[in-house]
Amino acid sequence: MGFQDNAGGAPRKARGRPRDWDDKTSQNTIKSLDRAMRVFEFLSETQGRSLSSIASETEQAPATVYRILVTLEGRGLVELNKEEQLWHIGPQAFVIGARFLRRTSLVDRARPILRRLMEDTGETANLGVEKEGAVLFLSQVETYASIRAFFPPGTLSPMHSSGIGKTLLSQMSEDRLDRLLNGANLEAFTNKTITDLNALRADLLVIRNRGYSVDDEEKNLGMRCIAAPVFDVNGEAVAGLSVSGPTSRVGEAQIEHLSLAVMEAARDLTLAVGGVPPRS
C-alpha cells in the first residue's frame, strides 16, 4: 500500500442485437417465454413443488404451468418426481450454470462494481483474494482525490493487518483458521496492529457477525480500510472488496455509512459471479 472510427461511412449494423435493442416495451418481449421464466425461477428458489402450488404462487393457470413444465422437462431444465408428484430443477440447469461460471472472471466482473463503489464513496476501491496466507490485490479503482491509498495489482499484504485479510479470515472454518494463525508471526506495523492471537480472534468474531472489517491504521498510520467478503457458488468467501483512504476523510463517523456501501458492492459482486450471499 502507498500513498474504431467510422466517420464518413455508412452506419454499421449492430452485431448480436437489433436496432431497437434498448426498447424494453411489451412489443419486444415474448410473453409466453416470460411466463415460463417466472415458473423456472420460482422452482429454482423453492424446489419440490406441486403443479397447483406453482400455478398459485406464480399466478398462472394450472394448464399453462403444466405446458411450461413439460416443455422445460423436455430440455432437462426441470424434472418430475412421479411418486410424490413434485417438480424439481433438472440437471441441465446445473450444466448451464456451470457454463456461466466458466466464462465468469472475478476481475472482469468486479471492475464496474469497483468503479461504482469508488464513485459512491469517493475513496479508492480494491479487490483482493487470499494467496498462501497473505492478501493478493487483484484490482483497484483509485479515487480522484490527491491523497489516496495505493495497492497496485500483485501487491501482497499480511492478512492480520489488512481489511480484506481480516474479512476473509473471519469467514474461514476453525480448522483452516487454526492452520493459518497457529504459530504465525503477527508483525506489528503500527501501534494499532493487532499482534495478540486471542485479540485477533475476538476481532474476527465481531467482523463475521456484523459483515465487514475495519483496518483502523493497523498497516499504515493515517489510513483506514473497510472491507466485506465476496462469496462463491458454494457460499465460501473467495475474495474481499474494500474502500481505503486517509483518516481525515475516512473518520470514525463515516465508517457505518461506508460499510453499507462496501457490503452492498460485495453482495453485487457475489451475485455477478453466481455466488450465494449469506442470509441476513
Q: Which domain holds residue 58?
A: 26-101
Cα separation, 144 vs 121, in Å, equals 11
125, 181: one domain:
yes
Q: Which burial class, exposed, middle or buried, applies to 209 when counting CB atoms under 10 A from its CB (0-12, 13-18, 19+)?
A: exposed
34, 113: one domain:
no
141, 251: one domain:
yes
113, 220: one domain:
yes
120, 254: one domain:
yes
Helix then strand count (H, E) for the chain reads 9, 8
Interhelix angle 51-58/31-46, nearest 10 degrees: 120
71, 149: one domain:
no
Cα separation, 137 vs 145, in Å, equals 21
**Tens-digit pLDDT profile for the chain (280 aa)?**
554 333 444 445 445 555 554 555 556 668 889 999 999 988 887 778 999 999 999 999 999 999 999 999 999 999 999 989 999 988 888 788 767 656 568 888 999 999 999 999 999 999 999 988 899 998 999 988 877 776 777 788 999 999 999 999 999 999 999 998 887 889 999 999 999 999 999 999 999 999 999 999 999 999 999 999 999 988 999 999 999 999 999 999 999 999 999 999 999 999 999 898 877 5
pTM over 0.75, yes/no: no
90, 117: one domain:
no
Half-sphere exposure of 241 (CA within 13 A, CB side): 31
Cell of 203: 476481532
Residue at 113 is within a domain = yes
Cell of 124: 479508492
CATH number assigned to the domain comprising residue 238 = 3.30.450.40
